[in-house]
């Protein structure tokens, strides 16, 4: 799996958009970008994933650059409950026997400031 690079920490004011960057310059054509977050010591929570098109769901938007070497997760109106560690993960698409796991890095600790 391609490796990802994220800033170790970020702050964002409550109510503003939180933009979390991720570099994945060695991503392959058949690899998706996944975002998860972990609030305190709870289980990681799936947020969104995409291959090359921008994606949006009820939680967030995912913007992937045209060359797919980087992406940005956008939380449009951050609340205090969005304070968490956010993980950007690259994962092979579809069935890849023995390699379907998610490999977590150290993530970005996002703090929402009141």
Residues binding other proteins (CB under 8 A): 34, 38, 41-46, 49, 92-106
Distance CA 78, CA 91 (A): 27
Shortest distance, CB of residue 13 to other proteins, whole angstroms?
A: 28
For 88, counting Cβ atoms within 10 Å of its Cβ (0-12 exposed, 13-18 middle, 19+ buried), the class is buried
Shortest distance, CB of residue 75 to other proteins, whole angstroms?
A: 18
Q: 23: Cβ–Cβ under 8 A, 6 or more apart, which residues?
A: 4, 5, 6, 69, 70
Shortest distance, CB of residue 51 to other proteins, whole angstroms?
A: 11
**DSSP-assigned letters across all residues of 77-99:** S--GGG-EEEEEEEEE-S--TT-
Nearer CB in complex with other proteins: 47/75: 47
Nearer CB in complex with other proteins: 98/114: 98
Q: Token pair 């929570």 is at which residue?
A: 45
Shortest distance, CB of residue 114 to other proteins, whole angstroms?
A: 26
């Amino acid at each position: 799996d391609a490796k990802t690079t994220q800033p170790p920490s970020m702050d964002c004011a409550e109510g503003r958009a939180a933009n979390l960057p991720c570099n994945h310059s060695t991503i392959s054509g058949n690899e998706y970008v996944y975002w998860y977050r972990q609030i305190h010591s709870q289980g990681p929570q799936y947020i969104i994933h995409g291959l090359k098109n921008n994606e949006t769901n009820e939680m967030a938007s995912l913007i992937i650059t045209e060359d797919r070497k980087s992406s940005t997760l956008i939380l449009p109106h951050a609340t205090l409950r969005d304070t968490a560690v956010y993980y950007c993960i690259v994962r092979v698409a579809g069935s890849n026997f023995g390699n379907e796991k998610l490999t977590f890095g150290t993530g970005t600790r996002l703090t929402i400031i009141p």
